[in-house]
Amino acid sequence: MESAEIRRRFLNFFAERGHTVVPSASLLLNDPTLLFVNAGMVPFKPYFLGEAVPPYKRATSVQKVVRTLDIEEVGKTTRHASFFQMCGNFSFGDYFKEGAIPFAWDLLTTSTHEGGYGFPEDKLWVTVYEDDDEAAGMWQELVGLPADRIQRRGMVDNFWSMGVPGPCGPCSEIYYDRGPDYGREGGPVADEDRYLEVWNLVFMQSIRGEGPGKEGFPILGDLPNKNIDTGLGLERMAAILQGVDNIYEIDTTRGILDRAAELSGTAYGTAEGSDVALRVVADHARTCAFLIGDGVIPGNEGRGYVLRRITRRVISKMRELGAHEPTMGELIDTAIAQMAPQYPELNDQHVRIRQVAVGEESAFLQTLRTGSAIFDTAVASVRTNGGSTLSGEQAFALHDTYGFPIDLTLELAAE
Ligand code: SER
């Protein structure tokens, strides 16, 4: 099933059940706690907190999301992306667990010719928060899930917040068993590669305060209403429904990956190192197009720095893969061609997005030419002195005097 169809089915399913279809918000929202929208619920946060009155009781959306905390994992695992799309259904003081659980189950298990995703019921597992007997009971009573496919987990896994003070609540996650080829028996608590998380249902009912990590914060009280916030990763769903191993090989992203392979002259599937690099390029080129499209300009801090870092990673990987000429323009063209059918604003912004990306590429290639020479000299002097570690002073000089980015120095030094 194509990505566009997965998205269409999600929105239709919830529209038919009284949800207003809300278009994706920009990646840049005015929330001082966030650089980028990092979850489908972010645009609705004021409704959960009771700071604004929602114009609807039920909503559904496919929201653009950027998460860069795990950027080093992109391409190495089957499921990390810096940009992805989150399909969600939301209730603002309307239905709660008793509504969200059967909705999710029906959409997943209804056959594909009847408009669902066609998952076999016996391949689905769920987790619930450790003391959430209510949700565990509903999974059995409302949809008939056997008790031995419901597992309980603590705060770290089954309590969701934005990572900062704000709305939060216990959650229940739905997992798809990909089978013994992918790992151990025993449900999601045993192996999250075999049991792939596909949908997170958050029972948004509390407010959290400051505190580290996923459990080191106080619960300050209740939200004015009991709400629902769910998130189903479109790319993960596509990987399952298209029968590919990872999210970089799904229809849309694969197009960018193949273009990167053509432009660099390195075929996909020849070696693990170059495969990782091609996956990074496919993921990051798409992220660049969306960030620039939403108004980010490369810079040295904040959002601009994230964009700069991502763009530069694309360029470095393409060089590593064997590209000698600039490739950013072509990669952006391909990313836009793949994504514009669902995000027509990319077409309207195409010329500007391309210009910004190509401009950053030429500036960086110039920096690389100067910086690489200085880097090589620094490495040679370390070696002459019998050492194997570039000093902090040398790394700083590369950055401060020559604009050579520290992450690149780290990568080159490790090599
Ligand atoms: N907010 C939850 C998440 O991002 C569910 O949408 O996983």
Q: Percentage of the chain surpassing pLDDT 70?
A: 100
| DSSP 8-class letter at 26 | P
Composition of the chain by helix, strand, coil, percent to 5: 50, 20, 35
Q: Is the pLDDT of residue 403 over 80?
A: no
125 — phi, psi (to 5°)?
Answer: -125, 155
Q: What is the CA radius of gyration of the chain?
A: 23
Q: Which residue has the higher pLDDT, 385 or 408?
A: 385
What the block records as the tokens of 202 is 């958050």
352-363 per-position pLDDT tens digit? 999 999 999 999
Q: How many helices (H) and strands (E) does the chain have?
A: 14, 9
| Tokens 């946060």 found at | 45
Q: Is the pLDDT of residue 398 over 90?
A: no
The predicted pLDDT at position 225 comes to 97
What the block records as the tokens of 312 is 């530069």
Nearest CA to ligand 1 atom 6: 231
Nearest CA to ligand 1 atom 2: 231
402 — phi, psi (to 5°)?
Answer: -115, 0
The β-bridge partners of 168 are 161, 206
| Window from 25-29, 68-72, 144-148, 298-302 with minimum mean pLDDT | 68-72
The predicted pLDDT at position 415 comes to 81
- What are the residue ranges of helices labelled H in 228-344? 234-241, 251-264, 272-293, 302-320, 328-339
Q: Percentage of the chain surpassing pLDDT 90?
A: 85
44 — phi, psi (to 5°)?
Answer: -100, 0
What the block records as the tokens of 326 is 């600039």
Q: What is the CA(204)–ligand 1 centre distance, in A?
A: 10
SS3 126: strand
Q: What is the CA(271)–ligand 1 centre distance, in A?
A: 35
Q: Is 230 in the pocket of ligand 1 (CB under 6 A)?
A: yes
What the block records as the tokens of 344 is 């027509």
329-345 per-position pLDDT tens digit? 999 999 999 999 999 99
178-232 per-position pLDDT tens digit? 999 999 999 999 999 899 999 999 999 999 999 999 999 999 999 999 999 999 9
Tell me if 377 sits within 8 A of 345, measured CB to CB: no
Q: Is 160 in the pocket of ligand 1 (CB under 6 A)?
A: yes
Q: What is the CA(147)–ligand 1 centre distance, in A?
A: 25
| Tokens 């075929």 found at | 267
The predicted pLDDT at position 402 comes to 79
Q: Is 167 in the pocket of ligand 1 (CB under 6 A)?
A: no
Q: What is the CA(19)–ligand 1 centre distance, in A?
A: 18
Ligand 1 atom with minimal separation from the 231 CA: 6
Distance between CA atoms of residues 173 and 158, nearest Å: 8
186-195 per-position pLDDT tens digit? 999 999 989 9
Q: Is 170 in the pocket of ligand 1 (CB under 6 A)?
A: no
Q: Is 233 in the pocket of ligand 1 (CB under 6 A)?
A: no
SS3 191: coil
Confidence band (pLDDT; 50, 70, 90) for 66? very high
The predicted pLDDT at position 244 comes to 94
Q: What is the CA(266)–ligand 1 centre distance, in A?
A: 37
Q: What is the CA(361)–ligand 1 centre distance, in A?
A: 34
